[in-house]
Every structure is written in structure tokens, then in C-alpha cells.
Structure 1
Amino acid sequence: MSLTAATRSETTKQFSTVMWWLLAVVLAVYVGSTAAALGFVYAAAATGSLPGDAPPLPEDGLAGLLYSTATSVGYVFPLLIGTLMVTGEFRHKTLTPTFLATPRRGLVLWAKILVGVLLGVLYGVIGIAVSVGASVGFLTGFGVDAELTSVDIWAQFGRMLLAYVLWVLIGIGVGALVRNQVGAIVGVLVFTQFIEPVARLAAAFVEGLPEVTQYLPGAASDTLVGASVLAMSMSTGDAGTMEWWAGGVVLLGYAVVLVLLGHLFSWRRDVS
């Protein structure tokens, strides 16, 4: 079977289940509600509309910060769909007929990567659309420039799409390396929702540590995008020293290493 046929088979396989659109709906609700809440608070703070003595936020860069909600809080969804693309096959034993039809296992993995790129773009478009849609209303309502005609904002959107694609590929690597679906999902959630956020928060209070934690995958993703509501809420600011492209290289490195390790140590093993 050729790569084209294997990719067509993987596309049919992924889009014939409910998981991809179910995660997409949760992504839209989660990112949209978060962006709306932050849009109201940040836009009100930028215009001095909050009650009490709350310090005002600068309007410059506020739009890009709110739009980055799609990646800074939504990156776990492309990571999960990439993981499920592989672990679901092990769980439901569908890899056995797949490998019988395509004995070249590397070809199957490449097909999954290509479909993962497609899913990353799709999820990225959804995440960006809902974060922008939820933020623009509050920005314009409080008289803050939404910056939708800015070249820099559209460049940020492009980097956000790239981040989504890379997170799906990282998920594929995790799924290939950790065959157990429950274990892989729990590991992903624990790392992304607890271990890394706590490490980055602690780094803000230890001199020299932000230069280390900037190489964590979530931090690298934020660097690639160029804005992060998570970094701002943790008061880490721009503690890292990497350029946006270096963040992309680090994130790509995670994807490549995990996929290679998965291929070498798990993907080629017998499938029961």
C-alpha cells in the first residue's frame, strides 16, 4: 500500500468516529468561555472600568494576549487528539488489520502524522476562531482596538496554527510510546495541567530557573506564539530569552524525539 492510500485510510478512520468532533466541541466551549471571561476582565481593566483600586492594564498588545487563549489554555486538546489517534488503535485492536493490510509500519506512522497535521490545522482554526470571536466583542465594547487588521496579529495566528500542528504530532509520539490509553491520557493531563504549570509558577520566584523552564513544551509553545495569558497570570512575563522561532524548534524537537522513540521502542513490537 502506498503512502497516499495509507493516508486516505487513516483519514477515513479518524473522521468516522465521534472523538475528533467531540473534542473539537469541548475545545470550542472551553477556549471560548475562557477567552470571554478574560476578555471582559482585561478589557475592563485596560479602560479603568473595574471597581475599586484595580491597577489598569496597558491596551498595547492586549488583543494578541486574549487571542493567545486558544493556545495557552487550549493546547491540551490537539495533544489529546494526537494521543488518541494511536492509543485508540491499541485499545480497540484495530492496528492488527491495519498492519496486515500495510506491513510497512513506518508507512502507517507517516500516514498518521499527515492526518495529524490536518487535524492540527482544523483544531487550530476552531481555537483561533472562538478565542477571537469571544474577545472581540469585549474589546470593541470597551473601546479597545481589536487589531484585526494588524499584520503582527495575523502572523501570530499563523504561529498558533503551527503550535496546534506540533502539539498533535507530540500527541502521536506519546501515543506511540505509551500504548495504554488510560495511562497516556492521565500522563498528558497530569503533566499539562499540574506538573508544568506548577514548575513555571515556581520558576517565577527562583532566580535563573525561568531560563530552564522556558524549554518545557508548554513554555516553548507560548514562546512560539509570542503571547500567553498563562504566563501573564503567573507573573512570569517574558522571563524567557528565546526568540519565537526557537520556541518552535524546541516544540518540534519534542515531537520528533517522541515519535522516534515511539517508533523504535513500541511501534515495532508485536500487537496482541
Structure 2
Amino acid sequence: MSASHSAATVASTPASTFVGAIRAEFIKLFSTRMWWVLLMIMVAYVGVMAAAMAGLFGSNMGDAGGMPPAEEGQLATLPSLVYSLATSLGYVFPVILGTLAVTGEYRHQTLTPTFLATPKRGRVLLAKLLVLALVGALFGAAALIGTVGIGGPILAATGNDSGLGDTETWMLIARAVLAMALWAVIGVGVGTLIPNQVAAIVVLLAFTQFVEPTLRAAALFADWAADIGRFLPGAAGDALVGASFFSLVSAGATSADPLLWWQGGLVLLAIAVVAALIGYVSAWRKDVT
């Protein structure tokens, strides 16, 4: 079933209640191939990278305690770095999914029947945000299956502690799932803010893969830049999770401390809310043709 046909069919069904709107969003999302294709690519990607890091660093170090100290508030064990690849590399997949979930409705012109079925547009947007948050958490769990399920055994095979008996590791895993949920919500905000699908994906990829990494690298050389850089989305996501390879590399480069985990979560949530609110006012409320 095509994305436009399935979405149009669901959107034309009554969904006047909030529960109905949520159900419609779930059906629209899961009736297409988009979500599971992104999911499979993500799991394969982070799994391969986790295997490479666990094998390379694990065989050279022989013990997880040999890691150099990370920044304040960040975990510095090898398992934490391997497992956090689920978010530090995989976050782009739920944010793309969230963006496509909105821009696809503009592209396939399914917003008109959606708004006819649910005239209160704010209710539609809230339902989409909630559904993508839950699916983003699913992506987080899947990504962690890739990093923990592949990286953990390799760490053990190279004589390292897998860290799975450590409470801090499981706290990191829980925060990683939360981070991926927030990234999906940010994707919805981006799609609402930039309704054109091609433009939204280009802007999203350009920022996440080039602009922010460049800014975070530049922040290593100036304290004032580091004070600003820690509020970037990727840096906030790393702070929420509590570990990332980038944070280890940047440890001690500046005097600026990273955000605490809850501060990072609030920054990600604020970015999503602001983007969605601006998009709601500027585009979501306009007439749809």
C-alpha cells in the first residue's frame, strides 16, 4: 500500500476524539514501509559501529577501567561509550522519521482529509507528537539492542567488563531511550516548521551532519564557544544520555562543563516545543491545498 493511499484512507475516518487522532496517527505511520526501513538501517549501522569500537578499543585496552577520565557528569567506561553509540550516531533516524511523518502529509496531500476528520488542528499535532515520541522510544530500544547486543559480547570476548551488572549502565540505557523519543519529537517540530519535505530533510541533514559537528569542534578551542555549544541539540542529547565518544574527545579541552542529564533533556524538549509552536503558527494553521 502506498503512503499517500494509506494515509488518505486513515485520515478520512472519524477521529474527532484525541484517542481517535492518536489511533489514526499510529495507523498512518505503521501502514507504510518508511518506519521499518529506517529502523533496520539504524540497527545495522549502530551495531556495526559498536562492534568496531568494542573490538578495536577492547582488544587494545584489555580492561574498561583504562579509559581516560571524561568530562564532569559523563561516564568514561568503555561499555558506556560503546552503548551510547545508539544515540550519538543513531539519533538522526528518529528525527528523520518525525520530519517525514509531517512533511509526508503535505507531499501526499493527506492533511486535508485529516483536518476534515479532526477539525481541531492542535489536537492532530499533539497526537502526532505523542505517537512519534513513542515510536522514537521504540527506535531507541532497537538501537540499544544493536549496540548492547553486539558490543557487549565483543567486550566480554576481549577481556573487558560488559558493564551490564552496573546500575549506571542501565540508567544510561534508560536515558538513551528517552533521548531517542525526544529526537523523534524534534523531527515533528522540524517538519511542522518546514513543510516542504525536500527542504526539511536537506536542512536537517546539513545541520546534524555538518553544521553542528563543525560548531562543536570549534567550541574545543574557545571557552565562550563551549558555553554556547553545550546547548546545541547534539550536545544536549549527549548530556542527557551521559556518555558519548565526542564528549570523551573533548574532555579537558575547555573549562565549560557539559549540561547535567536532566538539563540536556529539557534543552531537547524545549527545542522540539519551540519548533512545533512556530510551525503551528506559521504553517499548520494555514489553508491546505
Give me the TM-score of the superposition, normalised by structure 2. 0.88
Report the 3-state secondary structure (helix = DSSP H, G, I; strand = E; otherwise coil) of the residue aligned with 1:208. Answer: helix
Q: 1:245 corresponds to which letter in structure 2?
A: W
- Structure 1 residue aligned with 2:274: 257
Q: Post-superposition shift, 1:45? A: 2.6
Write out per-residue CA displacement over residues 136-180 of structure 1, whole angstroms, 9 at most, x where no aligned residue. 122101111111121111111111011011101100000011010
Is the CA contact (8 Å cut-off) linking 1:177 and 1:266 kept in structure 2?
Answer: yes
**Separation of aligned partners in 1, 2:168 and 2:229:** 26
Write out per-residue CA displacement over residues 40-96 of structure 1, whole angstroms, 9 at most, x where no aligned residue. 111123229xxxxxxx64596111111000000110001000000100000000111
- Structure 1 residue aligned with 2:84: 68
Matching residue within 47, 53, 67 for 1:38:
53
Q: 1:209 corresponds to which letter in structure 2?
A: A
- Structure 1 residue aligned with 2:153: 137
- Structure 1 residue aligned with 2:27: 12
- Structure 2 residue aligned with 1:117: 133
Count of residue pairs the alignment pairs up = 265
Is the CA contact (8 Å cut-off) linking 1:45 and 1:57 kept in structure 2?
Answer: no
Is the CA contact (8 Å cut-off) linking 1:14 and 1:20 kept in structure 2?
Answer: yes
**Separation of aligned partners in 2, 1:45 and 1:246:** 35
Q: Post-superposition shift, 1:266? A: 0.8
Structure 1 runs, 4 residues or longer, greater than 6 Å off: none
**Separation of aligned partners in 2, 1:234 and 1:186:** 28
- Structure 1 residue aligned with 2:181: 165
Structure 2 counterparts to residues 96-245 of structure 1, below 5 A: 96-233=112-249, 239-245=256-262
Relative to 1, partners in 2 of residues 1:62 and 1:139: Cα closer, same or farther, differing over 3 Å? same
Does residue 79 (structure 1) correspond to residue 102 (structure 2)? The answer is no
Write out per-residue CA displacement over residues 104-151 of structure 1, whole angstroms, 9 at most, x where no aligned residue. 111111110121122111101101110111211221011111111211
Q: 1:13 corresponds to which letter in structure 2?
A: K
Report the 3-state secondary structure (helix = DSSP H, G, I; strand = E; otherwise coil) of the residue aligned with 1:135. Answer: helix
- Amino-acid identity (%): 47
- Structure 2 residue aligned with 1:268: 285
Is the CA contact (8 Å cut-off) linking 2:192 and 2:284 kept in structure 1?
Answer: yes
Q: Post-superposition shift, 1:240? A: 2.9
Give me the TM-score of the superposition, normalised by structure 1. 0.93
- Please list every run of 5 or more consecutive structure 2 residues that lacks an aligned counterpart in the other structure: 1-15, 70-75
**Separation of aligned partners in 2, 1:143 and 1:158:** 26
Write out per-residue CA displacement over residues 180-231 of structure 1, whole angstroms, 9 at most, x where no aligned residue. 0000001110000000001111111223321110000000000000000233
Q: 1:213 corresponds to which letter in structure 2?
A: G
**Separation of aligned partners in 1, 2:59 and 2:236:** 29
**Separation of aligned partners in 1, 2:257 and 2:150:** 29
**Separation of aligned partners in 2, 1:240 and 1:199:** 16
